[in-house]
């Protein structure tokens, strides 16, 4: 029992990022989590909701309710928060391209609960810039996206003062391979781009601008190198403080504070010996709590089975308990800052700051973050860093316990259960959602819908703030797809640079050299150089794997066609035919592989290209792997397959086999 006379700091907000199947099912989950001592909500939306499609849109097939909750309209939003008093809740919503819409629905739902919107507390992630670089749920080109972000910020600062309108994210950059320096540089450059845009929009009176700065918060990552990560957070605080004072003249110290929430690193969580992930998660949590002056405001942790699939309630509970043990049982919260005055820490902080300033300078020279994203510079830097990391794992320079060293293991009781240790979303959820959506559409007042959409269009084409007509749309019963469609029509759609055109130069390993030779000779046997299509079907934005495979494929001597994320099965089949590729390699991590593979095979057959062999990689549970192979998929790769030379060799074998060549020797 802790000594009650000792002054303890208040613990950070403890959240679990969750949502699945339907608003009703997610509501039950939230209420259970709150009972278990969770102190805030963190909503995961499904991919159609994040990318602005209704549940019955063809592109939503297989994705509805899978990785998050589907919210098609006000009815869903109300159901999501039934019996949860919004006036007292602190809700974080991981929503970006459609952030103004989901906030509008939240406001409307609050109004229907009788809560004054000015009382609302919470966060909309609302950082589209990192979507182009990592997260992938962007819709519109950068310029209108920044405008939507700006509108939301301006609106909440005036009308929902306790809302965090944007969470500038470096979290996702680290998940796409960023180094600590890059995280610092790109997050701060993004913040500059957004704050400049708000200032220049003229929506905020000058004297209110410091208040805007004070509302900007960050969403940060913490990797396994927890000492360096702590230093990174101290560097963040210092650089932010300086930046907003110098660039925006914010004098009040409170408004210059670097406020941030965290999800700790998931990229480093492994499929092999997954129980080791628990240690990793706990150590990473230390990075963001150890130093009181750089401590997180809110933390959410991944679960031990992160690389296997979606977590079950028990897995999430375990993650929550890690936080509770640290905050309540240890003495961490009884002390002041433990690291102040340490010369070692100080030197590291300085090193990070210097490196980050240099990269920020390069971004500034390109005309700022938006331009540096459009030109592909930032994305290339990230792919480059990730490639280095993958190569270090491959060579063994970077040791990952259970992956490239100490692989031997006893059988794990954690994964031998009947549900293979992951959450399976009820496949009926999609159809139920679609039926409910169509019923909702049938009974709403169509005239009100048209009026609200016209108001939305007029704000979008003009320079009116997008929030008021969006709230009108929410009350009128407009759907997520309809709201987005109007803006797609006005702003157009965008495809972000893939960043894979990087040099990887130096000294190829023996294995790679041998591979090149075999790729070349197989090409000769087949008459022409070998060509691969790397395809990302569906709404899945996880591009890391596809990018790394594309780069490795190029380095192994293949000609690679890769068109980035979010293609339809028909587009992929067509491209494979037009490009005359020898093999299609799909990458799917969102869980909708069964539907998507079947669709692609069908499309291929329809256009007379059914003979092109298909392989797939991503998060594919074992049962599905078996079934996919039965359906004719030639090879299935998962995170266990970290040796990418071996993957390439395997692909080569598939090509040889399907062309009647004997196996390599």
- 10 Å CB burial of residue 611 (0-12, 13-18, 19+) is exposed
- The interface partner of residue 578, options being other proteins, ligand B12, ligand GTP, none and the CB cut-off 5 to 8 Å by kind, is other proteins
Q: Which residue is nearest to ligand GTP (CB)?
A: 374
Q: How far is the CB of 489 from ligand GTP (least distance, A)?
A: 21
| 3-class DSSP state of 559 | strand
Q: According to CB under 6 A, which one of 54, 63, 175, 381 is a site residue for ligand B12? A: 175
Q: According to CB under 8 A, which one of 5, 114, 608, 630 is a site residue for other proteins? A: 608
Q: According to CB under 6 A, which one of 64, 255, 474, 619 is a site residue for ligand B12? A: 619
618 near ligand B12, judged by CB under 6 A? yes
Q: How far is the CB of 146 from ligand B12 (least distance, A)?
A: 19
94 near ligand B12, judged by CB under 6 A? yes
Q: At what angle do helices 343-365 and 226-248 cross, to 10 degrees?
A: 50
- The question of whether 489 is a catalytic residue gets the answer no
Q: Where are the alpha helices (DSSP H) in 467-612?
A: 467-476, 480-491, 510-525, 544-555, 569-579, 593-606
559 near other proteins, judged by CB under 8 A? yes
Query: Considering only CA atoms, which of 167, 180, 176 is closest in space to residue 136?
Result: 176
- The interface partner of residue 44, options being ligand GTP, other proteins, ligand B12, none and the CB cut-off 5 to 8 Å by kind, is ligand B12
- The question of whether 57 is a catalytic residue gets the answer no
607 near other proteins, judged by CB under 8 A? yes
Q: According to CB under 6 A, which one of 56, 183, 306, 599 is a site residue for ligand B12? A: 306
Nearer to ligand GTP, 225 or 377 (CB): 377
d(CA 490, CA 518): 50
Query: Considering only CA atoms, which of 593, 309, 319 is closest in space to residue 423?
Result: 309
Q: What is the DSSP letter of 462?
A: S
d(CA 259, CA 294): 9
Q: According to CB under 8 A, which one of 516, 641, 643, 650 is a site residue for other proteins? A: 516
For 479, how many CA atoms within 13 A lie in the half-sphere containing its CB? 24
591 near ligand B12, judged by CB under 6 A? yes
- 10 Å CB burial of residue 608 (0-12, 13-18, 19+) is exposed
- The interface partner of residue 134, options being ligand GTP, ligand B12, other proteins, none and the CB cut-off 5 to 8 Å by kind, is ligand B12
Place of tokens 């339907």: 22
Q: How far is the CB of 607 from other proteins (least distance, A)?
A: 7
Nearer to other proteins, 402 or 529 (CB): 529
- The interface partner of residue 568, options being ligand B12, ligand GTP, other proteins, none and the CB cut-off 5 to 8 Å by kind, is other proteins
- The interface partner of residue 555, options being other proteins, ligand GTP, ligand B12, none and the CB cut-off 5 to 8 Å by kind, is other proteins
- Answer for the pair 213, 166: CB distance below 8 angstroms, yes or no: no
Binding mask 356-395 for other proteins (x = CB under 8 A): -------------------x--------------------
Q: How far is the CB of 537 from ligand B12 (least distance, A)?
A: 11
* Catalytic member of 155, 171, 248, 562: 171
Contacts of 416 (CB under 8 A, 6+ apart): none
Residues 130-169 as b/e (b if ≥16 CB within 10 A, e otherwise) read bbbbbbbbbbbbbebbbbbbbbbbbbbbbbbeebbbbbbb
Q: What is the dihedral of CA 44, 50, 52, 57, to 10 degrees?
A: -70
Using CB under 8 A as the binding rule, the residues of this chain from 482 to 511 that contact other proteins are 495, 498, 500-501, 505, 508
Extended beta strands in 264-421, E state: 298-300
Q: Please give the full DSSP string across 22-61, using - where no structure is assigned.
A: -HHHHHHHHHHHHHTT--SEEEPBPHHHHHT--TTSGGGT
- The interface partner of residue 152, options being ligand B12, ligand GTP, other proteins, none and the CB cut-off 5 to 8 Å by kind, is none
- The question of whether 162 is a catalytic residue gets the answer no
445 near other proteins, judged by CB under 8 A? no
Q: What share of the chain is helix, strand, coil (3-state, %, to 5)?
A: 50, 10, 40
Place of tokens 């210092």: 238
Using CB under 8 A as the binding rule, the residues of this chain from 132 to 161 that contact other proteins are 141
- The interface partner of residue 585, options being other proteins, ligand B12, ligand GTP, none and the CB cut-off 5 to 8 Å by kind, is ligand B12
Nearer to ligand GTP, 197 or 436 (CB): 197
| 3-class DSSP state of 359 | helix
d(CA 322, CA 527): 58
- Answer for the pair 656, 522: CB distance below 8 angstroms, yes or no: yes
Return the range that interacts with ligand B12 (CB under 6 A); candidates 6-14, 245-253, 349-357, 542-550.
542-550
590 near ligand B12, judged by CB under 6 A? yes
> Residue 219 forms beta bridges with which residues?
169, 261
- The question of whether 248 is a catalytic residue gets the answer no
Give the interface size with other proteins as a residue count (CB under 8 A): 47
Q: What is the DSSP letter of 134?
A: I
Q: How far is the CB of 501 from ligand GTP (least distance, A)?
A: 8
**For binding to other proteins (CB under 8 A), which residues are involved?**
141, 375, 495, 498, 500-501, 505, 508, 516, 519-520, 524-529, 550-551, 553-564, 568, 570-571, 574-575, 577-580, 607-609, 611, 659-661
Enumerate the active-site residues: 17, 171-172, 536, 540, 542
């Amino acid at each position: 029992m802790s000594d009650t006379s000792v002054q303890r700091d208040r613990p950070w907000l403890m959240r679990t990022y969750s949502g699945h199947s339907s608003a009703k099912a997610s509501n039950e989950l939230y209420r259970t989590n709150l009972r278990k001592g969770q102190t805030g909500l963190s909503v995961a939306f499904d991919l159609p909701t994040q990318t602005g499609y209704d549940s019955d849109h063809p592109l939503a097939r297989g994705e509805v309710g899978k990785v998050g909750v589907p919210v098609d309209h006000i009815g869903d939003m109300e159901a999501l928060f039934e019996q949860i008093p919004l006036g007292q809740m602190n809700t974080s919503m991981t929503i970006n391209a459609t952030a103004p819409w989901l906030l509008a629905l939240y406001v409307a739902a609050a109004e229907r609960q009788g809560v004054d919107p000015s009382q609302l507390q919470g966060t909309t992630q609302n950082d589209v810039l990192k979507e182009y670089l990592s997260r992938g749920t962007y819709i519109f080109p950068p310029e209108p996206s920044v405008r939507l972000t700006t509108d939301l910020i301006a609106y909440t600062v005036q009308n929902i003062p306790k809302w965090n309108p944007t969470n500038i994210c470096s979290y996702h950059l680290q998940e796409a391979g960023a180094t600590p320096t890059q995280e610092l540089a790109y997050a701060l450059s993004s913040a500059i781009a957004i704050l400049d845009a708000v200032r220049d929009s003229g929506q905020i009176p000058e004297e209110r601008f410091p208040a805007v700065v004070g509302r900007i918060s960050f969403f940060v990552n913490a990797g396994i190198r927890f000492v360096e990560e702590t230093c990174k957070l101290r560097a963040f605080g210092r650089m932010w403080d300086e930046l907003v004072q110098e660039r925006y003249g914010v004098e009040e110290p409170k408004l210059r504070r670097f406020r941030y929430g965290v999800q700790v690193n998931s990229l480093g969580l492994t499929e092999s010996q997954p129980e080791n992930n628990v240690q990793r998660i706990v150590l990473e949590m230390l990075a963001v709590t150890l130093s009181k002056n750089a401590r997180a405001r809110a933390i959410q942790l991944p679960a031990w089975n992160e690389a296997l699939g979606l977590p079950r309630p028990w897995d999430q509970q375990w993650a929550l308990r890690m936080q509770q043990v640290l905050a309540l049982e240890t003495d961490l919260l009884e002390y002041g800052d433990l690291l102040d005055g340490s010369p070692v820490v100080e030197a590291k902080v300085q090193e990070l700051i210097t490196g980050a300033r240099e990269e920020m300078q390069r971004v500034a020279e390109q005309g700022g973050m938006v331009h540096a994203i459009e030109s592909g510079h930032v994305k290339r830097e990230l792919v480059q860093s990730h490639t280095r990391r993958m190569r270090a794992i491959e060579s063994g320079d970077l040791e990952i316990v259970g992956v490239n060293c100490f692989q031997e293991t006893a059988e794990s009781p954690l994964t031998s259960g009947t549900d293979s240790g992951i959450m399976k979303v009820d496949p009926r959820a999609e159809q139920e959602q679609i039926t409910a959506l169509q019923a909702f559409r049938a009974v709403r007042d169509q005239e009100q819908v048209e009026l609200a959409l016209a108001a939305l269009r007029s704000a979008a084409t003009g320079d009116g703030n997008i929030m008021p007509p969006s709230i009108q749309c929410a009350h009128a019963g407009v759907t997520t797809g309809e709201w987005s469609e109007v803006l797609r029509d006005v702003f157009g759609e965008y495809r972000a640079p893939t960043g894979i055109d990087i040099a990887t130069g130096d000294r190829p390993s023996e294995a790679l050299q041998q591979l090149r030779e075999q790729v070349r000779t197989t090409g000769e046997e087949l008459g022409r150089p070998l060509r691969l299509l790397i395809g990302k079907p569906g709404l899945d934005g996880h591009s890391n794997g596809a990018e790394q495979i594309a780069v490795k494929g190029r380095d192994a001597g293949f000609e690679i066609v890769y068109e980035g994320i979010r293609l339809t099965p028909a587009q992929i089949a067509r491209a494979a035919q037009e490009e005359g590729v020898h093999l299609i390699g799909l990458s799917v991590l969102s869980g909708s592989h069964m539907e998507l593979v079947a669709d692609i095979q069908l499309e291929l057959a329809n256009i007379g290209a059914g003979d092109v062999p298909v392989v797939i990689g991503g998060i594919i549970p074992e049962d599905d792997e078996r079934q996919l192979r039965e359906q004719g998929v030639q090879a299935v790769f998962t995170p266990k397959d970290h040796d990418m030379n071996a993957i390439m060799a395997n692909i080569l074998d598939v090509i040889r086999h399907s062309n009647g060549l004997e196996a390599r020797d």
